[in-house]
Amino acid sequence: MDTEHRIHVEDAREMGALEDDAVELVVTSPPYPMIEMWDDLFAELDPDVADHLAAGDGGGAFDAMHDALAPVWDELARVLVPGGIAAINVADATRSVGDDFRLYPNHAELVSRLRDRGFAHLPGLVWRKPANGLTKFMGSGMVPPNAYPTLEHEYVLLFRNGAESRSFEPGTDHRYEAAYFWEERNEWFSDLWTGVQGARQHLDGDGLRERSAAFPFEIPYRLVNMYSVYGDTVLDPFWGTGTTTLAAMVAGRNSAGYELSRDLREAFDDRVSTVETVADEVNRDRLAAHREFAADEDLDYDAENYDFCVKTRQERRIQLYTATDYRREGDSYVVSHRTFDGQ
């Protein structure tokens, strides 16, 4: 099995390289409005952003930043198949603009804007990023009333493109091979994820570290497995360091990404060089965790492709794939996969 991964060094506000209904899943983490590290980017997209900030108008800057992202959401409605899922990782922002300190609710703004475009808002999740115990408040500390909680979480907002879910022919092989384990379902589909640490990427090159704020690999990897099947294409319109593409490669899906920075795109060559090792490690860990679970349970069904039992009928045809080779073709990669037998 081969998968293709296309990176477009272009503005995602016009995804002309993608046809209508070209992708089955979106997994992305956009620049967060009102987080200072993204001020210059938003000001490049719309000079009014800088004017609002200079004038102490935080609300105006917040609206202008979200307006700058809006064309991307228009494009998602076009390129995502009916019933396809969009998973958007975002955090709220706390900030003083002039003398005004407040929270800027990015997640609520995105919900409103995607609903306006016909997306159905689905139950989502929160992933918790523990902060240093000494910095769990902002403001006046032990003196009431002007202290505030530190934000220690981010949202993964989930949307369906349209009213109807995707449909499949009964017994579709690539869907049942892509099943997850019963115990993975119980962990992944909890609305609170803990123990998933956020980290900046280790990147070479002037300024690359400051220009990246990628989410941890585990987040897109889980989402790709939760909301796509083998043969699907996963899109990240805010590609960054390519974490979603790496997750798609490891999970045996196709992918597409949009990124403005040629430097970030070229830096991905170092990351993709690890794909075979990462795929083996991730698959080995998943099988080992299931075997440990199965050893303590009385399970009724034999897996067809592995030497263990599973909890439900839907898991019987699970088949993991690992990466065996890759090649770069211009701004795309082709990854070769084989079935993973646990060795």
Q: In angstroms, rounded to a whole number, what is the distance separating the alpha carbons of residues 254 and 2?
A: 9
- φ/ψ of residue 212, rounded to 5: -125, 145
The pLDDT, as a whole number, for residue 53 is 97
pLDDT band per the 50, 70, 90 thresholds, residue 156:
very high
Mean of pLDDT values over 177-195: 96
- DSSP 8-class letter at 135: G
Q: In angstroms, rounded to a whole number, what is the distance separating the alpha carbons of residues 320 and 306?
A: 10
CB 324 within 8 A of CB 340: no
**46: its two tokens:** 């719309």
CB 85 within 8 A of CB 160: yes
Domain count, the chain: 1
Q: In the predicted model, is pLDDT for residue 200 greater than 60?
A: no
CATH number of the domain at 263, please.
3.40.50.150
pLDDT, tens digit, for every residue of 63-82?
999 999 999 999 999 999 99
Strands (E), 176-270: 192-193, 233-236, 254-258
Q: For the chain, what is the mean pLDDT?
A: 92
pTM: 0.93
pLDDT band per the 50, 70, 90 thresholds, residue 340:
very high
pLDDT band per the 50, 70, 90 thresholds, residue 203:
very low
CB 242 within 8 A of CB 7: yes
**321: its two tokens:** 């794939």
pLDDT, tens digit, for every residue of 2-52?
999 999 999 999 999 999 999 999 999 999 999 999 999 999 999 999 999
pLDDT band per the 50, 70, 90 thresholds, residue 186:
very high
pLDDT, tens digit, for every residue of 110-139?
999 999 999 999 999 999 986 655 555 667
Q: Which run of H or E residues covers position 337? A: strand 332-339
What letter represents residue 310's amino acid?
V
Q: Smallest Cα–Cα separation from 247: which of 11, 89, 50?
A: 89
The pLDDT, as a whole number, for residue 180 is 98
Using DSSP's 3-state secondary structure scheme, residue 82 falls into: strand
pLDDT, tens digit, for every residue of 96-107?
999 999 999 999
pLDDT, tens digit, for every residue of 256-269?
999 999 999 999 99
Instruction: For the beta carbon of residue 295, count every other beta carbon within 10 angstroms.
Output: 9
The pLDDT, as a whole number, for residue 136 is 59
**333: its two tokens:** 């990669």
Q: Smallest Cα–Cα separation from 87: which of 155, 148, 35?
A: 155
289-294 long-range Cβ contacts below 8 angstroms, 24+ apart: 289/181, 289/183, 290/181, 290/183, 290/184, 293/181, 293/183
- DSSP 8-class letter at 330: T
Cβ within 8 Å of residue 288, ≥6 positions away: none
CB 104 within 8 A of CB 58: yes
CB 24 within 8 A of CB 228: yes
CB 200 within 8 A of CB 212: yes
pLDDT band per the 50, 70, 90 thresholds, residue 312:
very high
- DSSP 8-class letter at 214: P
The pLDDT, as a whole number, for residue 206 is 45
What letter represents residue 28's amino acid?
T
The pLDDT, as a whole number, for residue 144 is 85
Q: Smallest Cα–Cα separation from 228: which of 25, 3, 23?
A: 25
Q: In the predicted model, is pLDDT for residue 90 greater than 70?
A: yes
The pLDDT, as a whole number, for residue 131 is 61
The pLDDT, as a whole number, for residue 211 is 45
pLDDT band per the 50, 70, 90 thresholds, residue 150:
confident
331 burial level (CB within 10 Å; 0-12, 13-18, 19+): middle
How far does CA 114 lie from the centroid of its chain? Answer: 17
- φ/ψ of residue 315, rounded to 5: -90, -10
Instruction: For the beta carbon of residue 64, count every other beta carbon within 10 angstroms.
Output: 22
Residue 89: domain span: 2-339
